[in-house]
Structure 1
């Protein structure tokens, strides 16, 4: 099969028949993974809600002097890790805002403490935005910052902070946030030291279809260069309680049809990224279930804790038993995986 060009992807995104796209994406998915559909048990730990980026699409952040502001201690984070292990979790995804003046030692001490207490947990944490912030505050290069974090226990990076990798969109919805070039540079540097990552895209931020495909192309190009992306994860913008909503600029939420169409195109487009993950967190259980027939081979995480999407008024709860039932009902064999997509247990 010839590689899909950006022009062809654009045509499919705009004019492709939804069911035919789903069938084409499903054929690729089944050729690679057969009837298997994976999921992860992990916990999102948001160590702070203070963030100086003040993104207009985020309902979670607050300023440092806000009464809602918090910063978790290492002991509080360890308590959450303990609960994760007790629930069968294998990974923690630690993320927060850009807390001014906190210092790199806070993060290094946190990582070392987790690895001492729970060596079995994989620390898949800190977005490219946070990495850049850590480096600037410490006066270090991105590479040196990542090496120090890696030495302390950081295993891999989540794709958060990408949203749409197009600076015209970013300047409108997150003008203080990391640029497209800087985001890609953090990921490139992480991959160069053997630290893999995931790639994400958030749709529904007022972007054009051209900007969606351009964002995906930048990820694919970097993957050609480094091979460091394990998976591509597609989310939808949740507008409630955000500045964009208050300013009347949020627009309508992305429809399930638009989401599924974009998901299917991503499976066709990313011939060099192994895994495509569906999003029950933003789409709900039923659409999350359908993603497995539109190119997704991974149903995402049980997420023992999730705060950012919930702050925007979207809340779906998932358990292992429920996830297994949903995957089976969709006609697939459920399997718990680890961070590197190795199967731990089939159901």
Structure 2
């Protein structure tokens, strides 16, 4: 049985087979990924009404790919007061947001309580609002900085109202690449361990992969395989989110941005490889809205959400600072031949548009 027959038959493929998909005809690969997507989701494309809040850009780490943290490339440090954050939450909740997505830099000055108190305040005032917060990289930083175990930090997150974890900080799991692009940050094993502990508490999370910088195709496939292995164990990942590296204002000095062709191939391959992970998100913030819409034909069934404001990727050149209008978002999905479905943060359907 050849690889195409295996995929169409719903059989799992191995590392070498996954890598060989990069050499397949572009449109044939897209059709294969689309067949997997259609079996799982038909023509539905999910999104949610959400708001990203990035409360501080002061960071103890210096990752070469980052343009967001306050360092030599970004001389404008800020840390939001809780009142500012609550004003934003009040505003977006009144306009129908179902989720706040809170990710920060690794600020050594704010204190662990600063993080926990804002989660608790949001949950107390808006019990139905989903709080997605703290990447595994932040969990690792807080554990180290405040001399606590991962279990202790995770239990504090649960106690203070965090509902799910975002997938950030995964970058690329290969340690040689990791050592070059984000030395000193959470390791791949630690990242996977933190998410396993989170899943063991019955909680859901996402998982990302930053690609298009100095990594190889082999590194990408290895990353996907490790995700698949953990998902076999826990079933706790909601979505895989391939993040396209942004080239501006950082220290990796990657001259040529990755091509749209390579982005779509990687999307398609991830849909095929991650047979146990329900959702593939084309995160329009890093890929552009237009390419995310095309990615629906290459296996993606989720476009994230309206977002409203985003600071991390826009600092590196992404056109995401002010989000996308809801009606426009729905219209774009419809016009591309798919059915827009508003979802909550754990993929319960709220409204079919």
Shorter-chain TM-score: what band? over 0.9
Please give the alpha-carbon distance, in whole angstroms, between the structure 1 residues aligned to 2:192 and 2:52: 23
Match of 2:117 in 1: 109
- Structure 2 gap ranges (5+): 1-9
SS in 2 for 1:233: strand
Please give the alpha-carbon distance, in whole angstroms, between the structure 2 residues aligned to 1:280 and 1:102: 31
State whether structure 2 residue 274 is matched by structure 1 residue 265: no
CA contact (8 A) 1:289 1:327 kept: yes
Q: Which runs of 4+ in 1 moved over 3 A?
A: none
Please give the alpha-carbon distance, in whole angstroms, between the structure 2 residues aligned to 1:10 and 1:67: 41
CA contact (8 A) 1:6 1:213 kept: yes
CA contact (8 A) 1:125 1:158 kept: yes
SS in 2 for 1:124: strand
Match of 1:275 among 275, 279, 286: 279
SS in 2 for 1:129: helix
SS in 1 for 2:340: strand
Please give the alpha-carbon distance, in whole angstroms, between the structure 2 residues aligned to 1:254 and 1:279: 15
SS in 2 for 1:242: coil
Match of 1:325 in 2: 331
State whether structure 2 residue 186 is matched by structure 1 residue 182: no
State whether structure 2 residue 293 is matched by structure 1 residue 289: yes
SS in 2 for 1:7: helix
CA contact (8 A) 2:288 2:318 kept: no
Q: For residue 63 of structure 1, report the CA deviation from its aligned partner.
A: 4.4
Structure 1 range deviating more: 253-262 or 138-147: 138-147
Match of 1:208 in 2: 216
- Structure 1 gap ranges (5+): none
Please give the alpha-carbon distance, in whole angstroms, between the structure 2 residues aligned to 1:37 and 1:275: 10
Q: For residue 67 of structure 1, report the CA deviation from its aligned partner.
A: 5.6
Please give the alpha-carbon distance, in whole angstroms, between the structure 2 residues aligned to 1:159 and 1:194: 16
Q: For residue 279 of structure 1, report the CA deviation from its aligned partner.
A: 2.2
Give the 5 Å matches for 1:295-314.
Answer: 295-314=299-318
Match of 1:122 among 126, 130, 146: 130
Please give the alpha-carbon distance, in whole angstroms, between the structure 2 residues aligned to 1:154 and 1:110: 10
CA contact (8 A) 1:124 1:155 kept: yes
State whether structure 2 residue 62 is matched by structure 1 residue 58: no
Alignment root-mean-square deviation, CA: 1.4
Match of 2:139 in 1: 131
Match of 1:12 in 2: 21
State whether structure 2 residue 245 is matched by structure 1 residue 227: no
Aligned residues: 341
Quickly say closer, same or farther: Cα 1:63–1:240, change in 2 above 3 A.
Answer: closer
SS in 2 for 1:300: strand
